[in-house]
Chain A
Amino acid sequence: MDIVKLTIDDKPVVVERGTTLLEAAKSIGINIPTLCYMKLEDLNFENKPGGCRVCVVEVEGRRNLAPACKTECSEGMVVHSHTVRVINARRTVMELILSDHPAECLTCAKSGNCDLQSMAQKLGIRELHYKGEQSRYKGDKSPAIIREMDKCIMCRRCETACNDVQTVGVLSAINRGFESVVAPAFEMDLDKSSCTYCGQCVAVCPTAALTERDSTWKVVEAIVNPQKTVIVQTAPAVRAALGEAFGMEPGTLVTGKMVAALKKLGFDYVFDTDFAADLTIMEEGAEILDRLSRHLNGDKEVKLPILTSCCPGWVKFFEHHFPEMIDIPSTAKSPQQMFGAIAKSYFAQQLKKKREDLVVVSVMPCLAKKYECTREEFQVNGDPDVNLSISTRELANLIRNANLDFGKLTDEDFDNPLGESTGASVIFGTTGGVIEAAVRSAYEMFTEKKLEKVDFMELRGMDGIRKASVDFDGLPINIGIAHGLGNARKLLEDIKAGKSEFHAIEIMACPGGCIGGGGQPYHHGDVEILKKRQKAIYAEDAGKPIRKSHENPYIQKLYKEFLGKPLSDKSHELLHTHYFDRKSKIEINQE
């Protein structure tokens, strides 16, 4: 290994050639402040535009200060990370950035979570010496994401998320100098672009330039409306992250407190999206088995691999980028939408209410769900199956608004019938979970034998693409898993080229799956947090008395009383959907 020796702040340090000053300093416990820089450790992505210059340090023998995030260590370097000159330079840089930034911290959606704000604090900025014109850009409100580019500091993290991690390619820096800004092509609004609403750009934006479309107040209005019965459903990944918003350790499970808080907030019924996840397994599992047995019987038409369809970010991705393959994914709706459809039919009947009198609210780790519930195919005569979708962060705000002391709440249980769930449904919240849940049920349906060991460790983990073969009583079933759309793209290219050896593939748009969703408490680039949330999810699964979806007694009851069996006409009507070709077409003038 080629190594170099240098000293930083009088401490000697030895590193591999190619290491940056920033990393070398970190290895000996010196954390040089950074703003534009971001490293997503386990995902192997780095944003290193070297633009903000907050990370400058002094290198002896060099006239100019060097940005630590971009400067490589060299032999014998003598580096000082906090001289007066360095500190002054950082403050000047910060003041210049702030001179083109609206000072709206008091009312800003990102206040308390903003990297720009905390850097200004850290550097002790108390006065702005530079006053100049501030750049102004048009706002952009999509169903899920709001772009307020006046607050953009051109760190380009969103570009890394959208272009490198997700390979969606919606965002690019455009124009130059003072006019420059990050925008979709032709400065079109996000809702006109091929944005998947995965929210990964929002998850990494240091400021409030990118935020979710906030629906908390609409939820409050519904709750206080005496005409409406308000039902809430909570996605599996929310319980593994909500506690962070109240200062708890990442990975703290807060299921019971979350339910208690929702009841105190005044929802009429507190149900669980997990119930609908069990339902998804019933339908998706049946579909997998149906395609598999047709394939085994020599049917050449049947499409394999089957792809999961519970992630709306992923759905929109393939609709835009792989429209020729829209008949490959399962037709099963996402758990959010299955829940809405059942709540507004089966449960409305039980309550003897019209569907319009029900308001279904979902709490999701996800921003794509805000968009999903506005899709026309998920409405009946203009009444959406899910009326409002709020993120984990928005729920945390509602709880704060209501002045509830979250940490002190006594655990409560979900209501029934739509609140009962199994361990299989809980793991929907992490990458690998949906397919593991499907395998648990499909195995028993296919082999008609009891599955003794429900933990499929070979399907778990954090690698972007994972492969495993599961033994279905002598028949090896090849399973693929991808999380992050860039990884999904790789598996799709293989299918397109006829090179895929899989029978079934699980895809989730967000790195880590929904635990890393665009609506979760901000991780500020610390991917370790995702692993802790993942652990919490598997712990919740292990602690559940029932761990296979088809054994959920309320699911069995639902089929008996209402749906018949999986893939029945009723199931198709309520629980399945279809996809659209969204690739933009260029008009051709035939001469």
Chain B
Amino acid sequence: MASVKLPESKIQELKEVCQKYDNKGSELINVLHGAQELFGYLPAEVQEIIADELNVSVAHVYGVVTFYSFFSMLPKGRNPISICMGTACYVRGAEKVLDEFKRILNVKVGETTGDGKFSLSCLRCVGACGLAPVVTIGERVYGRVSADDVKKILSEYA
């Protein structure tokens, strides 16, 4: 795992998040939420600081981070790609679309490309079932996407 250097001011903010919850081990999930808002993700170093502040083991923090899919240990890409896996999208071939993104970008779900450009994640129903299958990249929404469209969509971000 690449080691991340954290800026001192951010560390201070992180400690404030912990203090907001009285540095209580029982508040770990809330603290992790706050930390993820702060950093966008939860690198090892952040987890180590939290463990220290809340006086729990790093292994325990990591256990919780890996248990909830909401938490991520990888930084989001500059263009976060989300693929809707709600029922409507799924039956209309969202999985094939997902596979195509995975193939072209050579990443798994939850990962970010080496150049930091794209990250890939799945979502539950986004409520745009009329447009199924739906893909969002940053703020933009793409509807009725097929596997064949993936290349073209990505080329917009070249």
Contacts and interface: CB of A to CB of B under 8 A. Distances in A.
Interface of A: 163, 168-176, 183-186, 193, 584, 586-591
Contacts of B124: none
Contacts of A586: 6, 11, 45, 48-49
Nearest to B67: A176
5 contacts: A170-B59, A174-B66, A176-B67, A588-B7, A588-B11
Given A163-B57, A175-B67, A586-B49, A185 B6 contact: no
A180 to B, nearest CB: 8
Secondary structure of the B contact surface, majority rule: helix
B79 to A, nearest CB: 26
A75 B3 CA distance: 58
A172 B3 contact: no
B5 A587 contact: yes
B31 interface: no
B112 interface: no
Contacts of B1: 186
Given A174-B66, A591-B8, A184 B59 contact: yes
B60 A169 contact: yes
A399 B61 CA distance: 44
A286 B6 CA distance: 47
A589 B6 contact: yes
A186 B8 contact: no
A586 B3 CA distance: 9
A268 B8 CA distance: 60
Contacts of B60: 163, 169, 172
Secondary structure of the A contact surface, majority rule: loop
A172 B65 CA distance: 11
Given A186-B44, A589-B7, A169 B58 contact: yes
B66 A175 contact: yes
B119 interface: no
Interface in B39-69: 44-45, 47-49, 56-63, 66-67
A569 B111 CA distance: 58
A588 B60 CA distance: 23
A584 B47 CA distance: 13
A587 B8 CA distance: 10
A174 B63 contact: yes
A589 B62 contact: no
Contact of B8 (A171, A183, A184, A588): A588
Interface string B109-150: 000000000000000000000000000000000000000000
Contacts of A587: 3, 5-6, 45
A163 B45 CA distance: 21
B62 A591 contact: no
Name the residue among A175, A193, A586 with the largest chain B CB count within 10 angstroms: A586
Contact of A172 (B7, B8, B9, B59): B59
B65 to A, nearest CB: 8
A44 B46 CA distance: 34
Contacts of A591: 7-9
Contacts of B47: 185-186
B9 A185 contact: no
B57 A172 contact: yes
B58 to A, nearest CB: 4
Contacts of B66: 174-176
Nearest to A180: B67
Nearest to B8: A588
Name the residue among B56, B61, B62 with the largest chain A CB count within 10 angstroms: B62
Interface string B12-37: 00000000000000000000000000
Contacts of A186: 1, 44, 47, 58, 62
A169 B67 contact: no
B9 to A, nearest CB: 6
Contacts of A163: 57, 59-60
Name the residue among B1, B47, B61, B66 with the largest chain A CB count within 10 angstroms: B66
Contacts of B48: 584, 586
A185 B5 contact: no
A587 B6 CA distance: 7
Interface string B85-120: 000000000000000000000000000000000000
B15 to A, nearest CB: 12
A194 to B, nearest CB: 9
A590 B8 contact: yes
Name the residue among B7, B44, B47, B63 with the largest chain A CB count within 10 angstroms: B63
| 6 residue pairs, one from A and one from B, having the closest CB atoms | A169-B57, A172-B63, A172-B59, A589-B5, A185-B58, A185-B62
A169 B59 CA distance: 7
Contact of B6 (A172, A193, A588): A588
Nearest to A173: B63
A193 B44 CA distance: 13
Given A172-B62, A183-B59, 4 more contacts: A169-B59, A172-B63, A174-B63, A176-B66
A564 B108 CA distance: 66
